[in-house]
Amino acid sequence: MTGIDVRVQGLAGRITLRRPEVLNALNHPMCLELERALDAWREDEAVALVIIDAEGDRAFCAGGDITSIWYTATQGNFDFARRFWFDEYRMNLKIHRFPKPVVSLMHGIVMGGGVGIGCHGSHRIVGHTTRMAMPECAIGLIPDVGGTYLLARAPGQLGLYLGLTGTRMGPGAAIAAGFADHFVPEEHWPDLIAALAETGDPAAIAYHAAPVPEDPLLQNRDKIDQLFAAPDARAVLQALTEDPDSFSAETLATLRRNSPLSVCATAEMLRRLGPAPTMAAALAQEYRFTYRSQEQGELQEGVRAAVIDKDRQPRWRHGSVDDVTAEEVDAMLAPLGAAEWEEGK
């Protein structure tokens, strides 16, 4: 068992994540199985669209299986994670470019690798339990799986804010930020799936869709656009420090808990991508950081503090973003030569 169920139901290719006991955390075999399904259905005339959902009440997918990644690296095996990320990103790009509709139904926790599966298709559905985030800076990583592509395209400075802080989005914020398209009450999801499988037509989504709920996060849009318009992470923190608002104080506290190197690198990655990135360029840049994140970065320490020892006291190499040099960020994002991520590999 790979933790993923692949089958055809009516006119729909069905992909269901089935590791609810670990919040459907994504591992390498699941990535490969999902990719094989996409490859098989691409030219299959019997499959009109693809539906991706997940079992369990708590999560669509809480992210990648970082525990196994951490353990293999403690034994000096950095290639395990590198191969996983390389293949995962290829799968993410295939979802993004799939020639048929891809409908994802994302309930509960949707983070990291879950965003990579659910947020690059053509019809992205959220419900009342959806809590979506890219919290990688908190563990010494950067928003990956195409996360920087989505963040760079978000309106105003919302993408930079979400990428640096890892703030959780409810369904309204996920739609406003461009991570999702439709709000459908979760009690309607079984009927929607049945209609999609019967008709092969995503127009059924409109019938079940409902008004998007208000999201408290969006009440601070003007403040976010003002404070995160600064040219780099250091200037953002300075702007937050000088602003007396309670929102700024809370945001500043969050940023100071995250890896300074990850915060600075994420800001620089979004700057380099610009407002009109391509998915392939975003993934290639992300891979440069993730490739180095264990051996040269701070992922091992971040996972130790958050998941292994759970002391929530990461010992980052830098005391603050002021201590991170541009040269260090450039080194994490430098080309990898023969190891560079390329979509055709």
pLDDT band (50, 70, 90) for residue 2: confident
Which amino acid is present at 183? Answer: F
> What count of other Cβ atoms lies within 10 Å of the Cβ of residue 15?
23
Would you say residue 39 has pLDDT above 80? yes
Query: How far is it, in rounded angstroms, from Cα 94 to Cα 33?
Result: 13
pLDDT band (50, 70, 90) for residue 230: confident
The values of phi and psi at residue 209, to 5°, are -65, 155
Would you say residue 209 has pLDDT above 60? yes
Would you say residue 30 has pLDDT above 70? yes
Query: How far is it, in rounded angstroms, from Cα 327 to Cα 330?
Result: 5
Average pLDDT over residues 214-220: 93
Query: Which among 196, 186, 228 has a CA at the least distance from the CA of 12?
Result: 196
- What average pLDDT does the chain have? 96
Compute, in degrees rounded to 10, the torsion defined by CA atoms 278, 280, 286, 287. -170
pLDDT score of 345: 72
Average pLDDT over residues 273-295: 97
User: For residue 1, what are the CA distances in angstroms to 125, 150, 215, 229?
Assistant: 27, 31, 38, 47
Would you say residue 111 has pLDDT above 60? yes
Would you say residue 340 has pLDDT above 90? yes
pLDDT score of 169: 98
Average pLDDT over residues 107-136: 98
Crossing angle for the helix pair 28-41 and 79-97, to the nearest 10 degrees: 30
Contact between 182 and 209 (Cβ < 8 Å): yes
Q: Where are the domains of the chain?
A: 4-339
Contact between 26 and 113 (Cβ < 8 Å): yes
Q: Cα 90–169–16 angle (5° rounding)?
A: 45
Q: Cα 80–81–83 angle (5° rounding)?
A: 70
Average pLDDT over residues 295-303: 95
Active site residues: 64, 113, 136, 144
User: Which pLDDT tens digit goes with each residue over 168-207?
Assistant: 999 999 999 999 999 999 999 999 999 999 999 999 999 9
Largest CA distance in the chain: 59
Tokens of 50: 């693809």
> What count of other Cβ atoms lies within 10 Å of the Cβ of residue 315?
10
Helix (H, G, I), strand (E, B) or coil at 304: helix
**Is the CATH number 2.60.40.1180 carried by domain 4-339?**
no
> Which is it for the CA torsion 224, 228, 234, 238, positive or negative?
negative
Would you say residue 1 has pLDDT above 60? no
Percent of the chain exceeding pLDDT 90 equals 97
Query: How far is it, in rounded angstroms, from Cα 16 to Cα 181?
Result: 20
User: Which pLDDT tens digit goes with each residue over 135-166?
Assistant: 999 999 999 999 999 999 999 999 999 999 99
pLDDT band (50, 70, 90) for residue 343: confident
Helix (H, G, I), strand (E, B) or coil at 130: coil
pLDDT score of 56: 96
Contact between 305 and 138 (Cβ < 8 Å): no
> What count of other Cβ atoms lies within 10 Å of the Cβ of residue 193?
19
pLDDT score of 87: 97
pLDDT band (50, 70, 90) for residue 232: very high
Query: Which among 28, 94, 10 has a CA at the least distance from the CA of 65?
Result: 28
Q: Cα 56–59–61 angle (5° rounding)?
A: 115
User: For residue 236, what are the CA distances in angstroms to 62, 239, 252?
Assistant: 28, 5, 9
User: For residue 156, what are the CA distances in angstroms to 164, 181, 218?
Assistant: 15, 18, 12
